[in-house]
Amino acid sequence: MNQAKTFFLMVVLTVIFVAIGSMIGGSSGAYIAFSIAVVMNFVSYWFSDRIVLAMYRAKQVSENEAPQLYATIASLAQKASIPMPKVYIIENDSPNAFATGRDPSHGVVAVTTGIMRILSRNELEGVLAHEISHIKHRDILIQSVAATLAGAITMIANIARFAAFFGGSHSDDDEGGGNIFSVIIFSMIAAFAAMLIQLAISRSREYLADDGGARLSGNPLFLSGALKKLHAGVAHTPMNDANPSTAPLFIVNPFSAKGILSLFSTHPPIEERIKRLEDMAHRR
């Protein structure tokens, strides 16, 4: 279901992109904006692992330095039929973890020292299985494509508003475009819709990773128990120095969004994730 939802949302992003592109002076503006967005996101995708690991001063560890962590990741990677990811530890009291890498052959799993202190061995296995599932299903690639389209839509929406203020909107074929008010309103709605769709795609991938991680670990309650502790742990010790652009990578929102801000969170509601996992356990 979530796979189909992701595909549908990607199609909607593409449709919005084409629609907003037709509102500015011909297709050339859309191509330029899209090309810039592609280049920016390509660089981000290709070097994402190095960038985010450097950002959090993560340290790569060997099997001798973290034998239990290394062994658990190795076992899960073997079950998932992917190469052994690199293992990193982040010195941070906030309990969290993330996966990165452009494909399974370049996978990285990083955990904070905080998460290793508060989780049991089984709960940590549930978290690591979630991250291995992200790597196996190439979620970094999917989210990068979504970011490319959403970023392009935002850029084109800005161009459309600029064109509406300074000369109106028309196509290369001199066909009549919308009036200034319709262009401004539609471009604002398109940019906002693109942001919401990107968030929805991120949430769908989290649900899929929860499901895949539960199956890899062999017990959905491992991850559900971990999520309960992580939710409370982040609320008590949020990762205040985290970069908002990296929030979608983490297994739980490092900022612990509350109230209306939770509507714009890159993660599904923690209560819903736990409920799904517990329902899965009861069906076994």
Contact 186, 178 (CB under 8 A): yes
**What letter represents residue 81's amino acid?**
S
Mapped onto helix, strand or coil, the DSSP state of residue 184 is helix
Phi and psi angles of residue 239, each rounded to the nearest 5 degrees, phi first? -90, 80
Tell the residue number behind the tokens 């692992």, with chain if given. Answer: 49
Strand arrangement of the beta sheet that strand 86-90 belongs to:
59-60, 86-90, 108-112, 97-100
Pair type for strands 97-100 and 59-60: unpaired
Q: Could you say which DSSP state residue 119 is in?
A: S
CA distance 176 to 48: 43
CA separation for the pair 101, 107 (Å, rounded): 5
Which are the contacts of 122, defined by CB distance < 8 A and separation ≥ 6?
Answer: 217, 219, 222, 225
- Reported in sequence order, the residue ranges of 96-156 that DSSP labels E, i.e. its strands, are 97-100, 108-112
Annotated active-site residue 131? The verdict is yes
Q: Compute the distance between CA of residue 277 and CA of residue 269 in angstroms, rounded to an integer.
A: 13
Active-site entry in 123, 125, 131, 206? 131
- Residues labelled catalytic: 131
